[in-house]
Amino acid sequence: MKKRSPLPYAVLAVGIIAAGILGYQTRSANAVPADAVTMTAEADGFAGPVKVSVTATADKIYAVKVLENGETQGIGSKAIDQLPGVIVEKNSLAVDGVSGATFTSNAIKTAAADALRQAGFDAARFGAEPVQAETTADTAMEIPADAIRAIGEAQGNNGPVKVEIVADKEKIYSVKVTEHQETMGIGDKAAEQLPAAIVAGQSLQVDAISGATVTSNAILEAVRAALASAGLDASVFEHAPLVSGEKADDVVLDTDIVIIGAGGAGMTAAIEAADAGKRVILLESQSMVGGNSVRATGGMNAADTIWQDENAFDEAAGVEKTLKTAAEKYADNAEITGLAKTVQEQWDSYRLAPDGYFDSVELMELDTMIGGKGINDFTLVKTLAENSAGAIGWLDTIGAELHNVGSFGGASVKRIHRPVNAEGKTTAVGAYMVPILEENVKKRENISLLLSTTAEEILTDGKGAAVGVKASGETGNTVTIHAKAVVLTTGGFGANLKMVEQYNPKLKGFMTTNAAGAQGQGIVMGEKAGAAVVDLDQIQIHPTVEANSAHLITEGLRGDGAILVNSEGKRFIDEVGTRDVVSAAEIAQPGSFAWLVIDQKMADKSAVIQGYIKSGYTVTGEDAAKLAAAMGVDGAAFSETLDSWNGYVAAKQDPDFSRTSFAEPLEGTLYAIKVMPGIHHTMGGLRINTKTEVLNGEGQAIAGLFAAGEVTGGVHGANRLGGNAVSDFTVFGRIAGENAAKLAG
């Protein structure tokens, strides 16, 4: 709302420059002996190969230089400026990466290690990680001389998936994914895990990796293609996987804190608790981390941040509309009325002396309360908004930068903070954040991550306090964990369609955008431990789910200027309204679907849109008439709709549906995605307080039991605003980790 001092960032910039200078001084200060060797190598960075030269002897590194790279200026360039000097100064590759530039840092260290190996030196002597053997085949399996090596390819979610196999007519000895463009944190997990499963089971009927079905199927099809190209009969391997039948031993573990669910909230809580010095066991029922969090496409809402100030303020109409809604529809709601009074005062003051970008914690609270129809737990809403800007700063410290700010449905102003890729294009927040959270979890020695381990019961003592968890391991063995605190971060129940129908029968038959693990187990376990629940009937449907694949299409496209048209080629709603309102309007259209229309300018700025195009979700046309034909709608009606909309954009006024968010006109080459509503988020769950303590039916905290994220209820009320889910799991995940650590002593 007001300009913040740029001093901290000026200091940071000076620090970066100084670090770069010191790095080069360190290299030049070392006298390089005559027997030193200089070698070059490269490794994949964020935006492509990073080429590095290293000058060294067997026991000392004298120089490291990045020769070529395509990394992002201001992000990857930080690692290029700083890391070589640190490696030389420490004479080690076992140094921390540069915050916010993890991929580039790892590329520099990997390339430097390879250069040392090429020079004939022991890279491990300098702290390099050992070269990992391929895990795609049974390394104990002897490969006969007549085995055939072959290549196969199939279409994945984002493009071709290529594999290399080694096999004969009776056995598959090796499967390796050699090339793919699948989503990090989702599809790449299938590329990591499925090849070994194929070899171990000697089967093409192995289960797909949960949450990565399309990529899994592509790998299997590519293996079939490779077998065919080798002249081998793939049907030999079309049987149930071979299994050893061995059950692992039951195990009993002791820890300070056990966290159930390794999605965004769980990993955030684990990092905070570990950084407080506590031992943490993090359980995940699926074979990979991420849950629903990895599927988040938009960004994270945060109020009154320095990154908002980088935008010109042009959202006066949005603020006025929200204040009008509060006065006309919520005059009997004390919290909303009080917030509206405060925001009105802030708005009047800003208009008298505009300074920076206008937003406030109270305006975020007001938007969230109105979006939730006023039934939200106001104390939780305040906690969410008041800690949102700090959460953006915390994410910076672990290497997750959300600095691009845009518009989103239900928000009065530009508030959603998004990541950008190496080309400066916005990208999906979940696929960006989850790998960074996972990396932070794995590098903390006091966090133990147990995948494919399903919690079944919260253990309690004689007084009802939570003291541990009973779980089932991958082979069916019992895993018992004793702990001083238990944190539930299991997510909602959006993938449990029977449970959805139980609480909201009107949603029977709807598709879902949820990950397979969103089954509501945490809610059931919490209730058995005495927890109260709230708002379980409040289940959100998202208006833009791709009609054929059930893939979530980000709300950010509408915030960036997209429109929705029906099968008659006409707009029918304010596209950036709340999800419940837009979904209801969409259901009321002929066929209960719509077309989301974007243009080439938007596609050029968004890696997300480019992914939709590659995945085949779009139809396209060089102009309105040709796009109308591709959509199968009336050309004259659609052309009139588009002309009217572009006029509204120019005038910054929408007389048809009172939309207040405008970007640029839609023109040139156009694209459209067929969308319909799908089950997206369950607002209800366990009742918690602002400390994330789980409450019983009397409103008292259950000792030792905490919860965060979608497993909880209250903060979102009757409808969640886009961008508030990431805020929710980050803010309350941090609070849960901090308070569980305090309880653990």
pLDDT in tens, 45-99: 776 788 999 999 988 999 999 999 887 777 778 889 999 999 999 999 988 888 7
Burial class (CB in 10 A: 0-12, 13-18, 19+), 528: exposed
pLDDT at 644 over 90: yes
User: How far, in whole angstroms, is CA 230 from its chain's centroid?
Assistant: 39
pLDDT in tens, 477-529: 999 999 999 999 999 999 999 999 999 999 988 889 888 888 999 999 999 99
pLDDT score recorded for residue 23: 34
pLDDT at 24 over 60: no
CA distances from 655 to 88, 125, 317, 392, 703 (A): 64, 70, 13, 36, 55
Q: Please provide the average confidence, as pLDDT, over all residues in the chain.
A: 90
pLDDT score recorded for residue 142: 76
pLDDT at 251 over 70: yes
Q: 150-188 b/e with 16+ CB inside 10 Å = b?
A: bebbbbbbbeebbbbbbbeeebbbbbbbeebebbbbbbb
> What is the distance between the alpha carbons of residues 599 and 607, in angstroms, rounded to a whole number?
14
pLDDT in tens, 572-607: 999 998 888 999 999 999 999 999 999 999 999 888
- Identify the residue with better confidence: 127 or 404: 404
> What is the distance between the alpha carbons of residues 386 and 364, in angstroms, rounded to a whole number?
9
- Identify the residue with better confidence: 286 or 691: 691
pLDDT score recorded for residue 244: 62
Residue 75 CB-half CA count within 13 A: 23
Q: CB within 8 A of 102, min separation 6: which ones?
A: 399, 436, 439
pLDDT score recorded for residue 555: 87
pLDDT score recorded for residue 382: 98
pLDDT score recorded for residue 145: 82
pLDDT at 682 over 80: yes
pLDDT score recorded for residue 141: 64
> What is the distance between the alpha carbons of residues 435 and 136, in angstroms, rounded to a whole number?
21
pLDDT band at 321 (very low <50, low <70, confident <90, very high): very high
Residues known to be catalytic: 579
8 Å CB contact between 466 and 705: yes
pLDDT band at 659 (very low <50, low <70, confident <90, very high): very high
Please give the single-letter amino acid code of residue 304: D
Q: Identify the structural domains of the chain with CATH numbers, from first to last.
A: 7-126 (3.90.1010), 148-237 (3.90.1010.20), 300-446+488-496+516-538+683-744 (3.50.50.60), 541-679 (3.90.700.10)
Mean pLDDT of all residues in 296-321: 95
Mean pLDDT of all residues in 28-39: 76
pLDDT score recorded for residue 709: 97
pLDDT score recorded for residue 158: 79
pLDDT score recorded for residue 144: 85
- Identify the residue with better confidence: 134 or 469: 469
Q: What is the 3-state secondary structure (H, E, C) of 334-393?
A: HHHHHHHHHHHHHHHHHHHCCCCCCCCHHHHHHHHHHHCCCCCCHHHHHHHHHCHHHHHH
Mean pLDDT of all residues in 327-339: 97
User: How far, in whole angstroms, is CA 245 from its chain's centroid?
Assistant: 36
pLDDT at 26 over 50: no
pLDDT score recorded for residue 3: 46
pLDDT at 459 over 70: yes
**Phi and psi at residue 648, in whole multiples of 5°?**
-65, -40
pLDDT score recorded for residue 71: 78
pLDDT score recorded for residue 212: 83
**712-713/685-687 β-pairing:** parallel
pLDDT at 339 over 90: yes
pLDDT score recorded for residue 245: 64
Mean pLDDT of all residues in 357-369: 98
pLDDT score recorded for residue 20: 35
pLDDT score recorded for residue 70: 81
Percent with pLDDT over 90 in the chain: 68
User: How far, in whole angstroms, is CA 52 from its chain's centroid?
Assistant: 31
pLDDT score recorded for residue 17: 33
CA distances from 624 to 403, 627, 635, 653, 674 (A): 34, 5, 7, 22, 16
pLDDT band at 27 (very low <50, low <70, confident <90, very high): very low
pLDDT at 384 over 50: yes
> What is the distance between the alpha carbons of residues 377 and 532, in angstroms, rounded to a whole number?
14
pLDDT score recorded for residue 637: 96
Q: What is the pTM of this model?
A: 0.71
Mean pLDDT of all residues in 413-432: 92
pLDDT score recorded for residue 551: 85
pLDDT score recorded for residue 700: 98
> What is the distance between the alpha carbons of residues 487 and 485, in angstroms, rounded to a whole number?
7
Please give the single-letter amino acid code of residue 109: K
pLDDT in tens, 608-637: 899 899 888 999 999 999 999 999 999 999
pLDDT at 447 over 80: yes
**In 97-241, which residue ranges form alpha helices assigned H by DSSP?**
102-118, 187-201, 213-229
pLDDT band at 104 (very low <50, low <70, confident <90, very high): confident
Mean pLDDT of all residues in 641-663: 94
Residue entry with tokens 């369950």: 682
Percent with pLDDT over 70 in the chain: 94
> What is the distance between the alpha carbons of residues 405 and 723, in angstroms, rounded to a whole number?
11
Of 31-40, 60-69, 396-405, 627-636, give the lowest mean pLDDT range. 31-40
pLDDT score recorded for residue 130: 58
pLDDT score recorded for residue 376: 98
